[in-house]
Amino acid sequence: MPKQEMPSGALTLLILRVLRSGALHGYAIAQRIHVLSSEVLQVEEGALYPAHQKILLKGWATSEWGISETNRKVRFYRLTPSGRKRLEAELSGYHRVHEAIQSVLRTA
């Protein structure tokens, strides 16, 4: 099957949603998105780290250095209360757009 491109703006939503379950490092976030999407979505490293930077700069997550399960020094990201609010806003917007698209597809 051809590789599916992630819709614009979806990566931030997916990262925030994955972090809602707890702190994870970058590679683990990418892997979780890949697994939870039934291996349809693949997060490229070139997109992942700029997205993390944006999330940190906006105050939606914090980060701290730690050791991964493979004994490597990695940066763990944790959702902030502001990030939880942003996640809810992003989800609301996503659902509204999704319903609008579905409506067009059903009736056009």
Dihedral angle of Cα 25, 4, 86, 104, to the nearest 10 degrees: -170
Picking from 34, 14, 5, 3, the residue whose alpha carbon sits closest to that of residue 94 is 14
Q: What residue numbers bound the domain in which 18 lies?
A: 10-107
| 66 found inside a domain | yes
Does the structure show a pLDDT above 80 at 8? no
| 101 found inside a domain | yes
Does the structure show a pLDDT above 90 at 84? yes
Residue-wise pLDDT tens digits, 26-71: 999 999 999 999 999 999 888 999 999 999 999 999 999 999 989 9
Work out the burial of residue 51: count CB atoms within 10 Å of its CB; fewer than 13 is exposed, 13-18 middle, 19 or more buried.
middle
| 61 found inside a domain | yes
| 4 found inside a domain | no
> What pLDDT was estimated at residue 108?
83
| 95 found inside a domain | yes
Q: What is this structure's pTM?
A: 0.89
Q: What's the domain count of the chain?
A: 1
Does the structure show a pLDDT above 80 at 94? yes
> What pLDDT was estimated at residue 6?
74
Identify the CATH number of the domain in which residue 65 sits.
1.10.10.10
Q: In this prediction, what percent of the chain has a pLDDT beyond 70?
A: 94
